[in-house]
Amino acid sequence: MDKKFKFTNANIKNLPAPTKRTFVYDTIEVGLSLQITPNGAKSFYYRGVVLGKQIRVKLGEPSYMSVDDARQAARKAKINMKEGINPIEERKKITGESSLEQLYTRFMDEKEQHIRPITMEYYKDLWKRYLSTLANKKISQITPDELKLLHKRLTLNNGKRCAN
């Protein structure tokens, strides 16, 4: 198996499983590689330098990410690294961050002593009906587009008054 070649979706899919973990490298996007394990698992990685430290960051898997997507993610990682942003450290920040459901639970716990039971039931109903679809998302991962879509769906299904 050649260690360097032009990645295409077809040739990535057809790569055989090696006897030990192996990296192959794209000739188009410098720093983009593909890890292949003996059990056949494949993952795209980008290897670059952040503040003088060499790091390798996982971009995704070919099963849900095309070669073009991997190249685009590698370019984005390269730009961030040149600006001194370490993608690994950024991911660590997100994993320690609260989800919407955790914040909702904290809010409800704090308010329980100060509001009437009927208001608590109303808040629970609102959560269950409208926001529970975002429950497991970290706060920084909820995009304005998702909120606009939710608002639009609420307006269409329940009227303008409900959406506000």
Tokens 């984005």 — which residue?
76
List domains and CATH numbers for the chain.
Answer: 4-91 (3.30.160.390), 100-163 (no CATH)
pTM beyond cutoff 0.85:
no
Closest CA to 29 of 68, 82, 1, 57: 68
Confidence of residue 161 (pLDDT cuts 50, 70, 90): low
- Distance of CA 13 to CAs 8, 16, 51, 78, 102, Å? 9, 9, 35, 25, 40
Give the pLDDT score at 5.
Answer: 94
Closest CA to 28 of 68, 61, 64: 68
Asked whether residue 112 carries a pLDDT value surpassing 90, the answer given is: no
Whether the predicted pLDDT of 114 surpasses 90: no
Q: What is the pLDDT of residues 64-106, one digit of tens each?
A: 899 999 999 999 999 999 999 888 777 776 666 778 888 888 8
Assigned token pair, 38: 């003996």
Quote the pLDDT of residue 4.
95
